[in-house]
Structure 1
Amino acid sequence: MNKLYPLKFNPILKERLWGGTKLAEQLHKPSTSDITGESWELSGVKGDVSEVSNGEFRGATLNELIERWGPELLGKSVIEQFGKEFPILIKFIDAKQDLSIQLHPNDELAKSRHNSFGKTEMWYIMDADEDANLIVGFNQPMTREKYIESIENKTLLQYMNYEKVEAGDTFFINTGKIHAIGAGVLLAEIQQTSDVTYRVYDFDRRDKDGNLRELHTDLALDAIDFKQKDDFKVKYERTANKINPMVSCPYFKTNFMELQSDLTQNTAERDSFTIYMCVEGRAEIANEAGSESIRNGETILLPANSKIITIQTSGCKLLEVVL
């Protein structure tokens, strides 16, 4: 019998120099800080492993569940590919100020330098102030030499590509792509399990102790993709009461679901866990072992051995993530 019911986890809140208050005010996170930048919803990152917040397994860590249930929780194919390390990190991010301009290494570099996965990620914009934007890629062809000169002369910003955003916009950020989340953006982030970031420009900001944050100029040089590419904004259907594919890559597949009524899925052949991030409204999500409510700003993990998943709602928007 399937004992693995829909699992919710305590958010892991992260103060950031650029953070704000929207995670508490809009997504109901238990934060009293005015610089909360991230809520890690589902994490297997060492030192920040998620703990169950509901039901029989309340207080157990994600890693303890994986150790006990293995393929029943993750899926046999997931175990074969990633072992017992949870391969996805799920976050909500509130940028009150611009994030640093940064990029992430690929799997090969991250493994050799940090014994980590690389960091491919995607963003779904939940809310954006008027004229809020992202930096994604370059606005012109770049060379290594021109890039180094722009870092030395602090002229990097003039080569950055700015994208104005609004709720519902979605972006796929592959490894090596230079990027930054702009001030006034609240988003959902789905990424490989990795906390490796190469920061290349930080607007000369200082932390609470008056120190400049570390830059990773040399490390970034071998990781950066200098090509100008228009490959980051995701076009996807938003048909109501349907499962609309958004992103499909080797590390995760994400679907968009705008539900105005109940939905039942037969997932008996799905050899993967399923994650739902609620980005608007509320719903009740169930498998054979139980049900759990979810509302805007919450995340639920369904085990791979769920044969039927039912979603009861009178109105919600969900991101469905599988491997």
Structure 2
Amino acid sequence: MCFSCVASLKIFGYCCNRVLPTGQGGGRDYRAALCTELKQPLTVEEVAPSPVGPREVRVDVHFCGVNFADILVCRGQYQERPHLPFTPGMEFSGTVLETGTDVSTVKEMLWQIPEKVSLREAAALPISYTTAILALEHRARTQPGETVLVTAAAGATGLAVIDVATNILQAKVIAVAGSDEKCKLAMQRGAQFCVNYNQGSLKEAVRKLVGSGGVNVAIDMVGGDVFLEALRSLAWEGRIVVVGFTGGNIASVPANLLLLKNISAMGIASGQYRDKNFPVLSKTLSSALQYCQQGCIQPHVGTLFKLEEVNDAFLHVMQRKSMGKVLLSPK
């Protein structure tokens, strides 16, 4: 099938924070949420399109994901710091409008969406599910029957971890969240147990659930004291994977615990695989797409905002109100 001849081809993938083009191309203007000043609200403006390069495609975006990292980028607090002004965003789904002269197939940062996967579902896969699969499989080497503890369990990545651990790896999941409502959602999505860490010691709660042996794997997105409690909840030769610090505090790892229990502490920044080991990233995202197509996993979209509501979407995530994936729709 000639990729350059299929204008309605559904695709999804990663996008980068992009500096606004200075030149003008053909075609109609498009709307973009722009970061023109750090730590200030985004503005939605009409932007003239740039010409499509020989190895580029123009995509009609239907949905794009909102991630905590997007907020950090717009605050100047992320490891990647694009020049102002730029359009934030890390994942999207849509249809191909135009292709460059050298484009003949889908590759690199684009994946074709099969018929059984909706554009809405596809937009929820690139960041959350890639992170979940890399953390559980590639880093922690989670085995069937093991127990996985996941913090921030009602967030997009937390629910993805529950989904993959339960339905792909046949592991048992203890979800950790900050409210009874979030715990209820985590249980509905497949967790065997849920702990509200605002209601006492996480370590003691885990001990009551699994005994003194502890959990085999912990996936932490909160940091600070929650990370330390999760670390202390690990079993002999347990593994903890650091995904982020939504709580705002970065804990120091007590190395004596690593020694005494033969446990491992590691990190996962899925975006770095784009440059460091793209084959692993590509294989992981292809697996997520296949799992979704087969009905083995079900991405949970919690809230959908219009493009004009982008600042409300950011605030929704910052205030920890989000449960599941938060998406923007330009349509």
TM superposition score category, shorter chain reference: under 0.3
* Higher helix content, 1 or 2: 2
Looking at secondary structure, tell me which structure has more strand per residue.
1
Could you tell me the TM-score, scaled by structure 1's length? 0.24
Higher relative contact order, chain-length normalized (CA < 8 Å, sep 6+):
1
